[in-house]
Amino acid sequence: MTENITTQKDLFGNVVPPSRQRKRRTTEPFGRIDKDENLHKKLLDYCRLKPGEIWEDHTSGHRVGVLDATIREHYERILGSYKPALAVNDPPYNVVVGNSNTKHLSKVDVKTYIEFSRKWVLNCLEFLVKDAHFYVWLGADVRDNFQPLPDFMIMMREFSEVSPRNYITVRNQRGYGTQKNWMWVRQELLHYIKGSPPFTVQYTDIPKILRGYYKQVNGELTENLQRSKSETIRPGNVWVDIQQVFYRMEENVPGCYAQKPLKAIERIILSSSQPGECVLDCFAHSGTTLIAGERCDRQVITFDIDPVFAEITIRRLEHYRRTGRTGWQWHNPFPELEDTL
């Protein structure tokens, strides 16, 4: 796909007439990194971290590692004296993503998946402060008895140090499915708490439009809009105002198939942690939590088992600081590879 850019200029700064304009590409430079082994191999040459290594950010104190969420010692190493007040985790969902079963987004039997989950949850909870929030994105595979969401929820009952706080559904605009079924538009977000952490109420941009809920206040009949503190509605536990990421959005990171919307992660961070606090994400992928933390003045400790995704996470932060852009849209996060793609 290409797009005409009407303000293209030549070397002397003159606007190029439409007939002479170069067509610019508006497709992503490559497909899913986790799926394309050749591309993944090429990208490994450009990764600054090897498995087990940690990058330290000297500007805001973030850390990014190539580590394994199931290994306790990896948490000790990356966290040091940091004690996160919030964990936002988006593990592989144990569903076949986009018809591909790939190394780190793979589908295994549900028992193995729950063993994997038990390990990383145990590690993660141990290192949180005593009053903390713990969020997990997860899915239910309708073609496989809705696993692993209910299995994961039941497994979580083993962890008496946390209690369920909420169950959020993000309603995607676009979905998938056939005309014979309800369109699949949901993403599930589990919210647990450890101890009694503070919570800061957030608001959406959605105006309050429903009138007619009347109540007597000091002898006067008032309508609900008169009594409300805000012009807009609270997100509640069904979020309908967040666009899922696609290649035309600034925040898009080409090659990252499982990227979460920045707005969703920022909402979690702003409601469930305080400025200056530390946020942990054990499944970095495209680095969304790192960018959200940078923008919300939190220190983020994050890692991914795959050096390519850890590299993308670091590059996304550098790119954000350099350009103010939250992603690459359809442009290439590895421009040094442009000629060989």
In the complex, the residues that contact ligand SAM under the rule CB under 6 A are 68-70, 90-92, 104, 256, 258-260, 282-283, 285-286, 288, 304-306, 309
Locate 257 and state its tokens.
């198939």
Query: Tokens 């959200």 correspond to what residue?
Result: 292
Two tokens, residue 260: 């979460």
State the nearest-atom distance from the C-beta of 3 to ligand SAM, in Å: 26
The DSSP code for 306 is S
The CA dihedral of 179, 182, 187, 188, to the nearest 10 degrees, is: -150
- Residue 46 Cβ vs ligand SAM, minimum distance, rounded to whole Å: 17
C-beta closer to ligand SAM: residue 42 or 119 = 119
Pairing relationship of beta strands 238-239 and 162-176 according to DSSP bridges:
parallel
Residue number, 98 or 225, with CB nearest to ligand SAM: 98
Is the Cβ of residue 299 or residue 326 nearer to ligand SAM in the bound state? 326
Minimum CB separation of residue 230 from ligand SAM in Å reads 28
Q: Which is nearer to ligand SAM, 309 or 328 (CB)?
A: 309
Rounded least distance, CB 313 to ligand SAM, Å: 8
Nearer to ligand SAM, 194 or 260 (CB): 260
Contact 243, 249 (CB under 8 A): yes
Q: State the Cα–Cα distance between residues 273 and 296, nearest whole angstrom.
A: 10
Show Cβ contacts of residue 89 under 8 Å, excluding neighbours closer than 6 positions. 69, 120, 124, 134, 135, 136, 137, 281, 282, 283
As measured in angstroms, the least distance from the Cβ of 115 to ligand SAM is 12
**Nearer of residues 54 and 233 to ligand SAM, judged by Cβ:** 54
Shortest distance, CB of residue 88 to ligand SAM, whole angstroms?
A: 8
Using CA atoms, how far apart are residues 268 and 272, in angstroms rounded to an integer?
Answer: 6
